Amino acid sequence: MPRRFAEPREEYGRIEGIFDAASGQFVGKITPARPKIGGKWVRLFQDQKLRMMQAHPELTDRAYRILSHLEAVSKWDNALPSATAVAKQLTMNRAVVARQFSALQRAEFIIRFDGVYYLNPLIVWKGTEKQMEAKCRELFAIQPISPPTGPLRLALPQATVLS
């Protein structure tokens, strides 16, 4: 006999409907749970990341291993741990990690600003949309309207010609 139910499930949200145990059929709806702000929420721009990876074939497997680790351990505003801390976490030589940080910085996957490394917020972002816009203005002196379509180039002020 079909069973009607409505129950909250923390991982899914609210599940309401009819479940027939004999046929295994479920008719109803699942209302998704809203993500908790400040939790483990990450926004990925996979297409942009792929374009940048293709534009920089000089990056090694070690660089991508470090980049993947950095995506996992970056703080809420994309701030990164030091190369020394990453070397300890990955049990790699500190000099190797420092070289890969430099390579990732040249490829614009990570950005150094005021002595702190950040993940490029146009590839991966941990935080709200408003925080992302503020960080982009701080790092690039631009405000992104949408994810870019090509490799990121830092916006530099243009010279004014006086006549």
Cα–Cα distances in angstroms (integers) from residue 114 to residues 32, 82, 111, 138, 149, in the given order? 40, 13, 10, 11, 27
The larger pLDDT score, comparing residue 138 to residue 39, is at 138
Total count of domains within the chain: 2
Neighbouring residues of 3: CB distance < 8 A, sequence distance ≥ 6: 18, 19, 20, 21
Q: Which domain holds residue 63?
A: 43-140
In the chain, how long is the greatest CA-to-CA distance?
87
At 145 the pLDDT is 47
pLDDT above 70 as % of the chain:
61
* pLDDT higher than threshold 60 for residue 10: no
- CB neighbours (10 Å) of residue 101? 23
**Number of neighbours of residue 56 by Cβ within 10 angstroms:** 16
Please tell me which of 27-31, 116-120, 137-141 the model is most confident about, judged by mean pLDDT.
Answer: 116-120
pLDDT of 84 over the 70 cut: yes
Same domain, 53 and 122: yes
Residue at 59 is within a domain: yes
